[in-house]
Amino acid sequence: MQHEQLSGSSHPVLQQQLSGKELVRSSSSSSGSSKAVRCPVFTCELCGQSMTHAYSMQRHRRQHLTKPKSFACDVCGRRYNRRDNLLVHCRTHYS
């Protein structure tokens, strides 16, 4: 990652190389907000869902291949195909 200056502006720019695609974010020091200027998008060929991280898309695609929901909630019996989704659900019973 490298920081550069926008031409004619004092706003810092963060550039990151992601598999040949460039992610550019500019942030305003006065407002403290940042906005994405351009971002790589990974789209699932099976359902059309889009994500900005390659790993998230890989994990999502595995859901299409995983048929049985082998993770069950001990309290209500609801089933999930990923353990992390079950753990998020279990928080609803104990919060």
Question: Does residue 4 register a pLDDT over 50?
Answer: no
Query: Quick one: tokens of 84?
Result: 């992390």
pLDDT at 94: 87
- Give Cα separations from 16 to 38, 39, 43, 50 (angstroms): 11, 10, 20, 20
* Cβ neighbours for 10, distance < 8 A, ≥ 6 positions apart: 29
Give the pLDDT of residue 3: 42
**How confident is the model at residue 71, as a pLDDT?**
92
Give the tens place of pLDDT for each residue, 43-93. Answer: 999 889 999 999 999 988 888 886 788 899 999 999 988 899 999 999 999
Distance of alpha carbon 36 from alpha carbon 48, whole angstroms: 22
- DSSP letter at 3? E
**pLDDT tens string 10-53:** 434 333 334 444 444 544 545 556 665 567 799 999 889 999 99
- Predicted structure pTM score: 0.40
Tell me 52's DSSP state: S
Buried/exposed code over 56-85 (b: 16+ C-beta within 10 A; e: otherwise): ebeebbeeeeeeeeebeeeeeeeebeeeee
pLDDT for res 79:
92
